[in-house]
Structure 1
Amino acid sequence: MVAAGLMSGAATGSASAQTSAKQLFGAQKLPANLQSRAIGSYAKGCQAGAVALPVDGPAWQAMRLSRNRNWGQPVLIDFLEKLAVDARAHDGWNGLLVGDIAQPRGGPMITGHASHQIGLDADIWLRPMPEQRFDMKERETVSAISMLKNGTRSVDPNKFTSAQFRLIKRAASTPGVARIFVHPGIKKALCDMAGNDRAWLQQVRPWYGHYYHFHVRLACPPGNPGCKDQAPPPAGDGCGKELAWWLSDEPWTPKKPDPNKPPVKKHVMTLADLPDACQAVIAAGPTPGASVASAAVGSAPYVPIEDDAPVAALPKPRPLVN
């Protein structure tokens, strides 16, 4: 009986009141032994029945294993594996270096992303995969590579080439992809290189950071009634006025705080703030046979991720999750 597997009312209330959701979900090392399901929204939810992207595949390598964030919904893992193989076969891309996907049970992270909570988001490095396999230590220390010219918002054509273009186009053209997030300079390069085939550009959205990787977000899969999709992206290819705004100084100029406005106390998200089904995800036992593919070395030095920025620091009316 589901109720028997849940925390008691008192225990749940205590956890909600005293423990932040990111501490609860960050402590989970293995996925919940429940039917696969994305629960809630990309920045406010969790996941059940997650599966791990294998550390090594025929055309991919999972990076930063000590973070234990190579878990996603089956539909996302299938997407990544197929993208890797197809891009190698057809696009001249040797293989994917895959960064953060989600925690074993999703939810808010102790460090990093505001999204990546329901197992439908993944970061793919724009650095090509080398022929050799990285060892555990290298997966913690090898750096992604910025695609931008130093000190500019424009891509370096020696780094961002037709190979990166073809990879992003393939990802954005795949049915079920809701968004691809890239740096505005990369969006500009994609617009310039696209030619007459431009429908896929609608899915590619400019956003802060994302100059060394692109962020894939899938739409909620069928049979996930508790999963909340974003609104569709605006019509058109997004290569006009919106992109011009992103490439101007306005989005990057810090906003002066209003001295007359009292400081806003940041709300700490608790289990009670998430969909009710996330209580069962926390309470469930681990999936039999699941294991953690974390590195034997310590965690890599943490580099802040672009969607760490608080909403108040972002230009209005842009939402945190574009």
Structure 2
Amino acid sequence: MFTIRRVVGAGLIALLAVSASIAGAEPRANQLFGAKPEASRQKSQPIGFYSKGCAAGNVQLPETGPTWQAMRLSRNRNWGQPEMIDFIKDLSAYAATVGWKGLYVGDISQPRGGPMTSGHASHQVGLDVDIWMKPATNLRLSRRDREKISSINVRAESQRSVNGNWTATHAAILKKAALDPRVDRIFVTPPVKIQFCKTAKRKDRKWLQKIRPIYGHNYHFHVRLKCPKGARGCVTQKPTVKELSKGGTGCDETLEWWVTDYLNPPKASKSAKPAKPTPKKKSARDFTMSDLPNQCSAVLASR
């Protein structure tokens, strides 16, 4: 199977390169990386930034393990850096001790990382993973089942609070992930952050700094790991809330942004000057190899 995948992948890349040459344009990076069915045979290392990079020597998360199942296998996105694969195994083992059988694991990365043909702007360096909010109750799902079933929504219709799908087990798993020193941040739907801000004990709130609210994450939570030690080509993300030493938890910022500004945006003054249009940023799907770190060409070319 792997030999066939390599031949098909090489053929697709050649076809894309020829098509781009005829059109007089550089081929898009997401098409080149999306055509690679296997990881590069290189030393494992994340290269570049989470939303502009690639991944050398990714490791494939087994489709099924004692406490996890990889979902949507047709996407071939169950690849990540060794640190990410270890993290998933550890967190899923913990989930099995607090009420679930484990975790349903969504997208991690493509075999060689890089921009994706659909979906995420990030997940490019093998250090991001989406974990379903749906409790894992059956770890014997067929490949067909994993394509058909969906996760569950934990955000209330009002969008200001969690709904009845949210449980103490969700909270425990997320807190466990946030306490892991490998984790840089965890993206959740804002009502989850608000719920934590309401319920976390006063003397146990430092981990809340890692819980970051963002729209669109009501069916899964997104864990992002720090750049591993010694990964010189990996670009660390800058902090976006107060430093821990200053007691920042992001709770005040979440309430102000989500409830006040996002769901009920202030009306613009009639006398206010119209804002200048901001230049459109280049999308990850429009990246060419020249937009990515130089090392990504070697990752793509590696056998």
Q: Which category of TM-score, normalised to the shorter sequence, fits these structures?
A: 0.7 to 0.9
Does the 8 A contact of 2:101 with 2:139 survive in 1? no
Question: Is 2:144 the partner of 1:134?
Answer: no
Matched, 1:230 2:224: no
Shift of 1:104: 0.3
Match of 2:184 in 1: 178
Per the TM alignment, residue 245 of structure 1 is displaced from its structure 2 partner at its CA by: 1.5
Q: Deviations over 1:122-157 (max 9, x none)?
A: 00011100135211111001011100122433111x
Which of 260, 268, 272 lines up with 2:290 in the alignment?
272
2:216 aligns with one of 209, 216, 223? 209
Indicate the SS of the match to 2:251.
coil
Name the residue aligned to 2:245: none
Q: Secondary structure at the match of 2:173?
A: helix
Rounded to whole Å, the distance in 2 between the matches of 1:210 and 1:65 is 21
More helix by proportion, 1 or 2?
2
CA contact (8 A) 1:53 1:62 kept: yes
The answer for the alignment partner of 2:81 in structure 1 is: 73
SS of match in other structure, 1:140: helix
2:252 paired with 1:240 = yes
* Shift of residue 94, structure 1, vs aligned partner: 2.3
Q: CA deviation at 1:261?
A: 4.8
How far apart in 2 are the matches of 1:71 and 1:131? 22
- Aligned residue identity for 1:28: K
CA distance, structure 1, for counterparts of residue 43 and residue 21 of structure 2: 26
Contact 1:178/1:232 (<8 A) preserved = no
Residue in 2 that maps onto 1:305: none
- For residue 109 of structure 1, give the secondary structure of its aligned residue in structure 2: coil
Q: Specify the SS of the correspondent of 2:222.
A: strand
Correspondence for 2:159: 152
Deviation at 1:195, TM superposition (A): 1.5
Q: Tell me, yes or no, if structure 1 residue 94 matches structure 2 residue 101.
A: yes
What is the CA–CA distance in structure 1 between the aligned matches of 2:189 and 2:32, rounded to whole Å?
A: 32
- Aligned partners of 2:183 and 2:225 also within 8 Å: yes
Per-residue CA distance 1:152-199 (angstroms, 9 max, x = gap): 33111x210111000000001001200100011111111122123111
Deviation, structure 1 residue 238: 1.0
Q: CA deviation at 1:86?
A: 1.9
Partner of 2:3: none
Distance in 1, Cα, partners of 2:118 & 2:167: 32
The one-letter amino acid of 1:193's match is T
Give the percent of matched residue pairs that are identical in Structure 1 and Structure 2.
Answer: 51
After superposition, the CA RMSD in angstroms is 2.6
For the residues of structure 2 that align with 1:255 and 1:30, how far apart are their CA atoms?
A: 51
Partner of 2:8: none
Report the 3-state secondary structure (helix = DSSP H, G, I; strand = E; otherwise coil) of the residue aligned with 1:83. Answer: helix
Aligned 1:1-322 pairs, distance under 5 A: 17-89=25-97, 91-156=98-163, 158-196=164-202, 197-235=204-242, 236-250=248-262, 261=277, 264=280, 266=282, 268-285=286-303
The letter for the 2-side match of 1:169 is K
Which whole-Å deviations, capped at 9, do the CAs of 1:49-93 have from their partners, x for residues lacking one?
Answer: 00011111111110000000000000000000011112222x223
**How many residues of Structure 1 are paired with residues of Structure 2 in the alignment?**
272
Q: Which has the higher contact order (CA 8 A, sep 6+)?
A: 1
> Which blocks of at least 5 consecutive residues in structure 1 are unaligned?
1-10, 286-322
SS of corresponding position for 1:78: helix
Deviation at 1:266, TM superposition (A): 4.9
TM value normalised by structure 1: 0.78
